[in-house]
Homo-oligomer: A and B are copies of this chain.
Amino acid sequence: MDDSRPADGPRRIKSVQTASEILAAIQRRPDPTFSDVCDELDASKGTVHTYLATLEEEGFVAKVDGRYRLGLRLVTMGETVRNETPLYRAGQLEVDKLADTTNEYVHLTVVSRGKEVTIYESRGDNAVATDYHLRMREAPQYLHCTATGKAMLGHFDDDRVRDIIDDQGLVEQTDNTISDTDRLFDELERIRERGYAVNDEEELRGMRSIGAPIRGVDGDVCGAVSVTAPTSRLSGDRFRSEIPELVMQAANIIEVNLETTTFDPSR
């Protein structure tokens, strides 16, 4: 009844947190109006108004006939992030090739704050669930139910995996999702042995993926690559050896690229 102290801890800029919340609110809601944004925040109209005006001026938000959107500055900044991620430069071409030979979706992902973000995606000619994959890239995804995610988890040390599970939980996205910690650790063990991870309709019903980890120069995992296809097209030999082989090859080539580009003197 007495903990009215400022509960210190490290200092933060509250206005920046508020701005971030507003951006999140706009992202959550499609094309919100001014009062839609107000509804999602607990701040007065006047305050929200000033924030939106500032964010618009800075290019983080755009107003299109009375409705708010995230601004194009986020596109250019996002582009910078990708270009400065060594994995992107090292992997882009190889991902395109893999999409070309498999004709399916290929993803290149990295871990950030306990989730994974797709840094590059290539769509083979037969790729399905385009809309799902479009939307999926708009937010970081769980690691425990994707091929790339599990491939990476398999090469983290147990403490780190445990921390991630504690933070994120093992949300059941489908009936096949591994939602039990022990089972997940068993699975990670198998992934380590085989060298690749399988996602058997654990993220999305009807879709399977094969993923392999990518190690950086220091030996630590810095990302993963995967092929995703409808279960009907990803079964039998193709599921058990052909695609896994191709994915691991691609991962290997990207690793080599990484080593050589990292030492690129022009950077």
Interface residues of A (CB under 8 A from B): 10-17, 19-20, 23, 27, 30-31, 50-51, 53-55, 57-60, 62, 69-72, 74-84, 110, 112-113, 117, 119, 134-135, 137-140
Contact = CB atoms under 8 A, between A and B. Distances in A.
A50 B77 CA distance: 22
Q: How many copies make up the complex?
A: 2
B10 A140 contact: no
A13 B12 contact: no
A254 B169 CA distance: 43
Contacts of A16: 15-16, 19, 51, 54-55, 58
A217 to B, nearest CB: 13
Given A72-B119, A77-B78, 20 more contacts: A11-B50, A12-B53, A13-B50, A15-B16, A16-B19, A17-B54, A17-B58, A19-B19, A20-B58, A59-B113, A72-B110, A72-B140, A74-B74, A74-B80, A76-B140, A78-B78, A79-B137, A80-B138, A83-B134, A83-B137
Contacts of A17: 54, 58
Contacts of A30: 84
Interface centre among A16, A19, A53 (most CB of B within 10 A): A16
Contacts of A75: 78, 81-82, 117, 119
A14 to B, nearest CB: 8
A53 B9 CA distance: 12
Contacts of A140: 72, 76
Contacts of A113: 59
Interface centre among A20, A50, A77 (most CB of B within 10 A): A77
A55 B54 CA distance: 17
A216 to B, nearest CB: 11
A127 to B, nearest CB: 12
Interface centre among A31, A60, A119 (most CB of B within 10 A): A60
A119 B71 CA distance: 12
7 contacts: A12-B57, A62-B112, A71-B81, A72-B140, A79-B138, A80-B138, A83-B137
A69 B110 CA distance: 15
A140 B50 CA distance: 25
Contact of A138 (B11, B60, B76): B76
